[in-house]
Amino acid sequence: MPRDKVCLVIIKTGARDLPDLREVLEEMTELTDSAQGIVVASLTASVPHPSPSHFIRGGKIEELREEIARTGANVLIFSVDLTPVQARNLETECGARIVDRTGLILDIFARRAVSSDGKLQVELAQMQYLLPRLVGQGVIMSRLGGGIGTRGPGEQKLEVDRRKIRKRIEYIQEQLEKLRTHRTLMRQGRRQKGLRQVAIVGYTNAGKSTLLNTLTGADAYVENRLFATLDPKTRIYEDGAGTSILFTDTVGFIRNLPHGLVKAFHATLEEVLDADLILIVVDAASEHAAQHKRVVDEVLKELGAEAKRRLLALNKTDLLGDVEKVRIQDIFPEAVLISAMQKQGLKELIEAVRKSLK
């Protein structure tokens, strides 16, 4: 199947504390690549006061039409979330499929979900996202199953009335409640065996799965793409030098992680809430390391885990020179420097974990 040609629309709003446009463009490009799209063009737009009907204004819409004609782009991906009305109007005006930021992330999650639990959680988030977008003209319906923003529960499940969709949402929530109960029983069983649990969290693509594999010999899926891991994996670490430790790899965080996804994945993310220690992994080689750490802190706060004991590991330090290592250690003096890929600093990390667990 041919890959979608994407024109990215990077929006600068009047909100404070937003990352710069270059960082947003970089992240949106990576997300698009994870959704199997090809970025053929990008436009930036300063929109201090979004239009209720289109979000952007007339002149910028004309620019988008010109880019579509010039590049053959068939999808416009916005770096912000759009209302159903805005998306529908833009689709009519531009003659291309419109995907907003949440729609793009949901698409990636739909591609990544492997287990039945993961698929249920993604479907719940998609249903809740799509419900207000099921409009009479069938704009959403007509494009299911094609490319970016169209992967979902499938036509059969969506070509039904709202009542049936709400019923499906209720059913999924019941199944996820059973999943939550099952996970709780599993955690209680571990506690009875005296095992301590460490939840590995971090910005997506920070190297969490590689760290789990290196420490425990696990076979967690690793790929240099955003959201490579959706299903949490718990594996045991044993070195004969102390008590065994359980490490759990979790779904990666991202700036403005859609609230619906956080809610849908609550059954999974409770592994973080119940852990004895949260191990935050940061990609030290990223120029946005400090921002990524801030995002992780914000998501942990949203989950209600801000009071949990934490340990910080700066990963991928094999990619840094000596001067850069000193600089990053100055920014995060409490951190342990490691390279999961090159198996560097892991002895120090385990010592720090054991110390924190005491």
pLDDT tens-digit map of 276-298: 999 999 999 998 899 999 999 99
Q: Please give the span between the terminal C-alpha atoms of the chain, in angstroms, as a whole number.
A: 53
Q: What is the mean pLDDT of residues 27-38?
A: 92
Same fold, 5-156 and 195-357: yes
List phi, psi (to 5°) of 155.
-55, -45
d(CA 253, CA 164): 32
The pLDDT assigned to 239 comes to: 77
Share of the chain above pLDDT 90, in %: 47
Share of the chain above pLDDT 70, in %: 86
Q: In the Cβ-directed half-sphere of 93, how many Cα atoms lie within 13 Å? A: 22
Distance of CA 54 to the CA centre of its chain: 26
Mean pLDDT across the chain: 85
What pLDDT digit, counting tens, does each position of 59-90 carry?
A: 899 999 999 999 999 999 999 999 999 999 99
What pLDDT digit, counting tens, does each position of 160-208 carry?
A: 567 788 888 999 999 988 888 888 888 788 777 778 899 999 998 899 9
Q: Given the DSSP bridges, would you call strands 233-237 and 245-249 parallel, antiparallel or unpaired?
A: antiparallel
CB atoms within 10 A of CB 215: 22
The pLDDT assigned to 234 comes to: 85
Report yes or no: 34 and 225 within 8 Å, Cβ to Cβ.
yes
Q: In the Cβ-directed half-sphere of 133, how many Cα atoms lie within 13 Å? A: 27
d(CA 91, CA 99): 9
d(CA 327, CA 154): 49
139 has a pLDDT exceeding 50: no
d(CA 112, CA 119): 9
The domain limits of the chain are 5-156, 195-357
114 has a pLDDT exceeding 90: no
152 has a pLDDT exceeding 60: no
Which one of 3.40.605.10, 2.170.190.11, 3.90.1150.10, 3.40.50.11060 gives the CATH number of domain 5-156?
Answer: 3.40.50.11060
Q: Which residue has the higher pLDDT, 307 or 257?
A: 307
The pLDDT assigned to 220 comes to: 55
d(CA 120, CA 264): 9
158 has a pLDDT exceeding 80: no
The pLDDT assigned to 136 comes to: 42
Which one of 3.90.730.10, 3.40.309.10, 3.40.50.300, 3.40.605.10 gives the CATH number of domain 195-357?
Answer: 3.40.50.300
Residue 143: pLDDT band (50, 70, 90) is: very low
Report yes or no: 80 and 55 within 8 Å, Cβ to Cβ.
yes
Q: What is the mean pLDDT of residues 326-351?
A: 95
263 has a pLDDT exceeding 90: no
354 has a pLDDT exceeding 70: yes
Report yes or no: 54 and 61 within 8 Å, Cβ to Cβ.
yes
The pLDDT assigned to 325 comes to: 94
Instruction: Choose among 98, 108, 159: nearest CA to 134.
Output: 159
The pLDDT assigned to 195 comes to: 84
d(CA 152, CA 111): 9
Q: At what angle do helices 101-112 and 116-130 cross, to 10 degrees?
A: 160
The pLDDT assigned to 228 comes to: 56
The pLDDT assigned to 268 comes to: 67
320 has a pLDDT exceeding 60: yes
151 has a pLDDT exceeding 80: no
The pLDDT assigned to 144 comes to: 45
d(CA 187, CA 89): 48
Joined together, the tokens standing for residue 235 give 């594996």
d(CA 237, CA 153): 37
pTM of the model: 0.81
CB atoms within 10 A of CB 169: 15
Q: What is the mean pLDDT of residues 24-34?
A: 92
The pLDDT assigned to 141 comes to: 42
The residue type at 112: R
d(CA 153, CA 13): 32
The residue type at 92: T
The pLDDT assigned to 142 comes to: 41
